[in-house]
Amino acid sequence: DQQVKQNSPSLSVQEGRISILNCDYTNSMFDYFLWYKKYPAEGPTFLISISSIKDKNEDGRFTVFLNKSAKHLSLHIVPSQPGDSAVYFCAATRMDSSYKLIFGSGTRLLVRP
Partner 1 sequence: GAGVSQTPSNKVTEKGKYVELRCDPISGHTALYWYRQSLGQGPEFLIYFQGTGAADDSGLPNDRFFAVRPEGSVSTLKIQRTERGDSAVYLCASSPGSTYNEQFFGPGTRLTVL
Among 49, 52, 57, 74, binds partner 1 (CB under 8 A): 49
CA pair distance 90, 16, nearest whole angstrom: 23
Provide, rounded to whole angstroms, the least separation between the CB of residue 39 and partner 1.
Answer: 10
Among 4, 66, 86, 109, binds partner 1 (CB under 8 A): 4
Asked if 66 interacts with partner 1 (CB under 8 A), we say no
Rg of the chain over CA atoms, in angstroms?
13
Cβ atoms < 10 Å from Cβ of 85: 19
For partner 1, the binding residues (CB under 8 A) are: 4, 6, 32, 34, 36, 41-46, 49, 89, 91, 93, 95, 97-106
